[in-house]
Amino acid sequence: MTTRIVLADDQPLLLSALQTIIDAQEDFCVVATCSDGAQAVTTLHSDPTIDIVIMDIRMPVMDGIEALTQIRQVAPEARVIMLTTFNVGDYVDRALFAGAHGFLLKDAEPDELIRAIRTVARGESILSAGVTGHVLDMWRSQLNGLSPAIPAEQKQGLSLLTLREREVFQLVAQGMNNSEIASALVVSETTIKSHVSSLLAKLHCRDRVGLVVLAGRM
C-alpha cells in the first residue's frame, strides 16, 4: 500500500530534495508540493485522504501552525510532521499542542527522514533528537508550575509520559472514549487501551475519572 504524502515549504530547493528522497521509496508517493500553509490546507481540503503532510513551521501567507490547525479540521486522519530548525522557540510548543505527530530538523539525514515517515505512518509519534531537549524543557517547566495539591508520585509520573501518552492523556481529559481517541489518532482501539493502562499505572490513578481530575488540577 502506497503512503501518499504532501510537502509544504517555501524553499524550492528543499522541496525538490525532499521529493527526490521520498519518491525513491517504492511505497511512498509525493502527490503535491506547496509553497505555503494555505496551499497545503487547500490541497488537503480537496483530498482529505492524504496520509502524511510534511510541513515547515515558518512559511509566508499562512504558517505551519495555523495550517496544522486547519488541516486537523478538514482532514483529521492526515498525520503531520513539522520541519523545524534549532531556533524554533515557541513554535514547537504551539505545534505540539495543535496536534503535530512529529518534529524533524531540516538538516536531518535522508535515512532519518524515511524512518520518521514510516514511524508516523504506523500511528506513532516522532521527535528529532535536536528537538527533544526543547520539548523536555517545556514539559519540565509545566511540571514545576503544577499545583502543590498534585501528589509527588503523580508529578513524577507525568515526567515519565511518552509523547503519545501525553496525547492520549489530553484526549481522555477532554472526555473522549477509547474508540474516539483511536479514531482521532488513527490507531487501533487496542493500542489506546494499552496507552490508557500505562497512564493509569504511571499516574497512580484508579480509573479514567482520576485522569480527568488530575488534568483539571494542572
CA distance 110 to 96: 23
Task: Give the span between the Cα atoms of 31 and 23, in whole angstroms.
Answer: 10
Give the model's pLDDT for residue 140: 60
Q: Reduced to 3 states, what is the DSSP secondary structure of residue 56?
A: strand
HSE of 181 in the Cβ direction (CA atoms, 13 Å)?
Answer: 23
User: What local confidence, expressed as pLDDT, does residue 124 receive?
Assistant: 80
Helix, strand, coil % over all residues of the chain, rounded to 5:
55, 15, 30
Residue 17 main-chain phi, psi, to 5 deg: -65, -45
Q: pTM of the full predicted structure?
A: 0.65
Closest CA to 104 of 14, 42, 40: 14
Read out DSSP for 66-105?
HHHHHHHHH-TT-EEEEEE-TT-THHHHHHHHHT-SEEEE
**Separation between Cα atoms, residue 11 and residue 36, nearest integer Å:** 10
What is the structure's pLDDT at 13?
Answer: 94
In the 8-state DSSP scheme, what is residue 2? Answer: P
Burial of 79 (0-12, 13-18, 19+ CB in 10 A): buried
The reported pLDDT for the residue numbered 20 is 97
- Report all structural domains of the chain as residue ranges with CATH numbers, in order of start: 3-132 (3.40.50.2300), 146-217 (1.10.10.10)
Predicted confidence at residue 163, as pLDDT, reads 84
- pLDDT (0 to 100) of residue 126: 80
Spans of the chain below 70 pLDDT: 86-90, 93, 97, 129-149, 218
pLDDT for residue 132: 64
